[in-house]
Amino acid sequence: MIEPKEKGFQEEDKELIEVTEMLRRQLVELACEKGFSHREVIELSQRLDKYIVQLQSRMNVKKSIN
């Protein structure tokens, strides 16, 4: 888990991290309830993937700047 209070994170990064963590928790709960192959679980997983890619892109940009 990424801590939004880590050095170098801006407010928009913190919000992205918080949303990502919220979606991750929802995904775990939903998968436990409905199973990994349920349509809703797959859709939520794909939504979470988009946030993770966005977060990774931002982190990579920050690394290349430093």
Condensed to tens digits (0 to 9), the pLDDT of residues 20-42 reads 999 999 999 999 999 999 999 99
- String of DSSP letters for the chain: ---TTSTT--HHHHHHHHHHHHHHHHHHHHHHHH-TTSHHHHHHHHHHHHHHHHHHHHHHHHHHH-
pTM (predicted TM-score) = 0.78
pLDDT band at 7 (very low <50, low <70, confident <90, very high): low
By percentage, how much of the chain surpasses pLDDT 70?
85
The CATH number fitting domain 11-65, selected from 1.10.3720.10, 1.25.40.10, 4.10.280.10, 2.40.40.20: 4.10.280.10
Q: Quick one: how far is CA 61 from the chain centroid? A: 17
Task: Parse the chain into domains and list their residue ranges.
Answer: 11-65
